[in-house]
Amino acid sequence: MADYVPTNDELFDRWFKFLIQYVTQKCTGSTPAWTHIPQAVLAALAGIYAAWYTAYSRTTGPYTLVDTAAKNAAKKAARDLVHPFVNQYLRFDPVTDEDRLAMGIPNKDTHPTPKKPPKTAPSFSIVQLGPGVLGIVYRDGETGKKGSKPKGVASVKICMGVSDEPITDQEMLSAAKKATKCPYVWRFRESDRGKRAYFACKWELSKQDGEGPWSEIQSEIIP
């Protein structure tokens, strides 16, 4: 997120002054809307603005290099205070999204742009790792590094089925696992040894962002 605090001195002065006025109005009166900000914190905020304005006002007419240095130092001190103040006191209830927009503070994006699922499927191979154990070695593309994934992909969905007859439809692979390590180790029951296991893979993003296309089905004898 880009810094919301203006860099231009005149705009910074307007923004900072309005922020203090807005917060003070919300925190004062017979029935203040906000009671979570200590008065000492408000006083410190007003004090740092006063120091900034004093230094800034000396540069609005004829000024010296000393005046400029003092103004820059006061501005840095103000920025160093206002960022943690906003994060500690203005990011949560009772401060609303409307309040933040009024103060020129951007709200967090609660609806991020969905990621697009990959258009390609994982390349993978099946290796025998020991009695009743097969390993799925996946990669991004035929020449990708072992365990590599496209950008934004969180895991690999591996589906498997054991059958005496060839499985030619990925939807017939009834068992599914989510893999983040490579090789992914699939352990079988003793009664499955000697049978043929069929596998297919696809890339997975988050739940709301979906999955990529299926790979071709591959198979291997369960050792």
pLDDT for 122-165, tens place per residue?
A: 999 999 999 999 999 999 988 889 999 988 788 999 999 999 99
DSSP β-bridge partners for residue 202 = 157
Domain ranges of the chain: 9-103, 123-221
Q: How confident is the model at residue 108 (pLDDT cuts 50, 70, 90)?
A: confident
Per-residue pLDDT, averaged over 174-202, amounts to 94
pLDDT digits (tens, 9 = 90+) for 27-68: 998 999 999 999 999 999 999 999 999 999 999 999 999 999
What is the per-residue pLDDT for 208? Answer: 60
Greater confidence, 113 or 97? 97
Closest CA to 110 of 94, 91, 90: 91
Domain at 123-221: CATH code: 2.60.40.10
What gap in Å lies between CA 162 and CA 145, rounded to an integer?
A: 28
Among the listed residues 87, 72, 110, 119, the one whose alpha carbon sits nearest the alpha carbon of residue 4: 87
pLDDT band at 1 (very low <50, low <70, confident <90, very high): very low
Report pLDDT for 203. Answer: 93
